[in-house]
Structure 1
Amino acid sequence: MLPGPTNVPERVTRAMITYPINHRSDDFVELYEECVNNTKSVFETEGDAVCLTASGTGATECSVVNLVRKGDKVIVPVNGEFSSRLAQQIEWAGGQAVRIETEPGVNATLDQVREAFDNNKDVKAFYCVWNETSTGTMINYLDRIKDLTSRNDSFYVLDGVSIVGGEELHMDKWGIDVAVTGSQKAFACPPGISPVCVNARARKYMEANPPRTMYFNLPRYFKYYAESRHTPFTPVLPVLYAYREATRMILEEGMERRIHRHRTCSAALYSGLSAIGLTPFAREDSRSTVVIALNYLDGLEDKVFRDTLAKKFRILVAGGFGNLKGKVFRVGCMGEVDRYHVVRTISGIASALAMMGHKADAGAGLEAAEQKLAGL
């Protein structure tokens, strides 16, 4: 129950058990072309898709180095570890990060974003971390940002590393120019593939202003794909097979049904864990549907609790980052998550708390969860 890497279906794992192929062969073209097309279907875009061999951080860095130039002004909400890293990446690329800072667990409001645009008429781009994994918060106004970026044709870039495939995304409809994710999160795939989707407008800019980087040079990927359906560099072939199978499973389930499953399981986890005496860290209007961050009870020691949960109940959850270390723990609700995972997690956490001397009514937690799971 980590917020990534997540559980991987056996069907996806088995897809990796194959001999390596020549990445300049027709076999590779068949594999990669389907990966690209499936990616575009999940993101709901008619633009280009690149399946990078990289972590999610690599995908976000790729988006930065291909768009941000020295002196460019970029608006970015910051309320946790990953949004802070994004702002730093922008500055390292020579840009000027206009941070909209809020406390961890609280999102910047749309009014605050609008004010940042009002005060920065010459803004080059708006970047945001859709789902701040470190604090369990999720931005819920993505569909209204294009009204702001359209004022001066600034770019709209979405870091969706820990949420694409588990929540509603309409890249083209929402006016998003660049969006990225990671295979090991809501796609329920091993780490190693990080999709980057780019619309025609952003591609045109990148090709006219190529970045000074070799590996993350998106125009180079566009060129190779257009000419031969190849990648410019050797990809991680076994994980690419797994990624193809994972995207097939996503499309077979259907995005609407998949999102409903994620939201239902999330509601059940919030309700059930609250019923056993835990409190969510994020403010209610900012809470993520794929990462549930919870405050520790007084006197509950982080490492002891998570070790007990792992060793006695074989359930893995994540601790907190930075200033939140030892204060919160985080439960992933993405990928394969279903009724089984929810019920077992609530039961295991309640039992671990009881073993450590904290009153926890597992029955109340399961009853509260089942009321939410009825719609699954």
Structure 2
Amino acid sequence: MLPGPTNVPNRVMRAMLAPIINHRSDDFVELYTDVVDKTQQVFETKNDIVALSASGTGAVEAGVVNLVKKGDKVIIPVNGEFSNRLSQLIEGQGANVVKLETPPGQNATFDQVKEAFDNNKDVKAFYVVHNETSTGTMVNYLDRISDLTSRNDAFYVVDSVSLLGGAPLPVDKWGVDVCMTGAQKAIAAPPGISPISVSPRAKKYMQENPPPTMYFNLARYFKYYDEEKHTPFTPALPLLYAYREALAILLEEGLQNVFNRHKVCSDALYSGLSAMGLSPFAKEEDRSISIVALNYLDGLEDKTFRNTLANKFKVLVAGGFGNLKGKVFRVGCMGEVSSYHVMRTISAISSTLAMMGYEVDAQAGLKTAEEKLKSL
């Protein structure tokens, strides 16, 4: 129950047993074009797709170095570890970064974003972390951002590494120019494939202004795909097979059903754990669907709690980042998450707390969660 990598279905794992093929062959063209098609369906876009053989951070870096130049003005909300890393990447390009900083656990409001655009008419791009993994917060107004970026044709870039595939993010409908994710989160594939969608106008800009990098130069990927449906460098073939299978599972279930399952399981975790006396870290209106961050009870030691949970009950959760280390723990709610995962996690947490001398109402937690899960 980590915020990633998540549990991977056996069907996806078996896909990696496919024979290694020549990545300059017709077999690869068949594989990669299918990957692109299925990725477009999950992203809900007709935009170009690049499936990088890299971690999610690699995709995010590609989304920065191909668009941001020295002196560009960029707006970005910052409220945790990963949005801070993204702002540092942008600053590393020599950009003039307008940070909308808020305390961990709450997001900049839409009105604050609008005010930043009102005060910065020359903004080149808006970058946003859709789902802040470190604090369990999610931005809920991404559907309104293109109204702001369209004022002066600013680029709209979304880092949805820890949420895409688990909640609605219709790229074309919401006018997103560049969107990045990682296969090991809500898509429930092994780590190592990180897809990016790029709009036609962002593609044109990248082709006309290539970055001083080779592996993350997206214009090279466009060229190879447009000409021969290949990738410029050797891809992680077994991981591509697994990623394709994971996408197929999502599409077979149906995206709306997948989104609903994630939402119901998330609601059950929040309500069930709250009924036991644990309090969510993030403000209610900003809480993530895929990462449930919870405050530790007074005196509860982080490593002892998580080690007991793992060793005695085989349930893995994550601790806090930076200043939140030892103050919160984070439960992943993504991928193949189901009623089973929710109920087992709540039961294991309640048993661990009891073993450590804390009185919690386990039955209240389980009953509350069970009521929420009835709709699945």
Task: Specify the alignment match of 2:145 in structure 1.
Answer: 145
CA offset digits 1:302-340 (Å, max 9, x no partner): 000000000000000000000000000000000000000
Aligned-partner Cα distance in 2 for 1:243–1:285:
32
What amino acid is aligned across from residue 152 of structure 2 in structure 1?
N
Shift of 1:21: 0.9
Matched letter for residue 49 of structure 2: A
Q: What residue number does 1:185 align with?
A: 185
Displacement of 1:20 in angstroms is 1.1
Matches within 5 A, 1:271-310: 271-310=271-310
What is the alpha-carbon distance in structure 2 between the residues aligned to residue 19 and residue 46 of structure 1? 30
Name 1:83's counterpart in structure 2: 83
- 2:31 partner letter: L
Distance 2:88 2:350 in 1: 39
- The aligned runs of 1:40-119 (5 Å cut-off) are 40-119=40-119
The aligned counterpart of 1:127 is: 127
Question: Which shows bigger deviation, 267-276 or 202-211?
Answer: 202-211
CA distance, structure 1, for counterparts of residue 211 and residue 202 of structure 2: 13
Distance 1:229 1:362 in 2: 54
CA distance, structure 1, for counterparts of residue 43 and residue 113 of structure 2: 24
Deviation readout 1:59-116 (Å, 9 max, x if unpaired): 0000000000000000000000000000000011121211000000000000000011
Equivalent residue for 1:202? 202
One-letter amino acid of the counterpart of residue 327, structure 1: K
Name the residue aligned to 2:173. Answer: 173
* Deviation (angstroms), 1:195: 0.2
Shift of 1:212: 1.2
Q: Give the equivalent residue in structure 2 for 1:331.
A: 331
1:108 and 1:371 map into 2 onto residues whose CA distance is 33
Which aligned pairs between 1:327-366 and structure 2 lie closer than 5 A? Answer: 327-366=327-366
Q: Cα deviation per residue 1:283-317 (whole Å; 9 max; x = unaligned)?
A: 00100000000000000000000000000000000
2:15 maps to what in 1? 15
Q: Give the match for residue 223 of structure 2.
A: 223
Asked if 1:265 is matched to 2:261, the reply is no
Task: Encode CA deviations 1:28-60: one digit per residue, 9 max, x unaligned.
Answer: 111111011110110011110000000000000
Q: Distance in 2 between matches of 1:341 and 1:113?
A: 37
Supply the AA of the counterpart residue of 2:34. E
RMSD: 0.5
Partner of 1:30: 30
Residue 374 of structure 1 aligns with which residue?
374
Q: CA deviation at 1:19?
A: 2.1
In 2, distance between residues paired with 1:45 and 1:6? Answer: 25
CA distance in 1, matches of 2:221, 2:279: 46
- The count of residues paired between Structure 1 and Structure 2 equals 376
Sequence identity, in percent? 70
User: What is the SS of the residue equivalent to 1:323?
Assistant: helix
Distance 1:337 1:142 in 2: 24
CA distance in 2, matches of 1:97, 1:83: 12
The answer on 1:237 being equivalent to 2:222 is no
Q: Indicate the SS of the match to 2:158.
A: strand
Instruction: Please tell me the residue identity of whatever aligns with 1:221.
Output: Y
Please give the alpha-carbon distance, in whole angstroms, between the structure 1 residues aligned to 2:312 and 2:359.
18
Q: Which amino acid aligns with 1:172?
A: D
Q: Distance in 1 between matches of 2:304 and 2:157?
A: 40
2 CA distance for matches of 1:303 and 1:58?
A: 30
Structure 2 distance, partners of 1:282, 1:169, is 21
Separation in 2, partners of 1:275, 1:59? 38
Q: Whole-Å Cα distance in 2 between the matches of residues 256 and 149 of structure 1?
A: 27
Quote the Cα distance in structure 2 between the aligned partners of 1:342 and 1:205. 45
1:18 positional shift: 2.2
Which digits, 9 at most, give the CA deviation of each residue in 1:150-180, with x for residues without a partner? 1100000000000000000110110100000
- TM-score scaled to structure 2, two decimals? 0.99
2:66 match: secondary structure = helix
Show CA shifts across 1:108-150 (max 9, x none): 0000000111111100000000000000000000000011001
Structure 1 residue runs of 4 or more that deviate by more than 4 Å after TM superposition: none
Using the alignment, how far apart are the partners of 2:16 and 2:94 within structure 1? 40
**Inter-partner Cα distance in structure 2 for 1:177 and 1:92:** 21
Per-residue deviation, 1:201: 1.0
SS at match of 1:30: helix
CA distance in 1 between counterparts of 2:23 and 2:94 reads: 35
Q: If the length of structure 1 is used for normalisation, what is the TM-score?
A: 0.99
Query: 1:372 deviation in Å?
Result: 0.6
Distance between the aligned counterparts of 1:264 and 1:152, measured in 2?
39
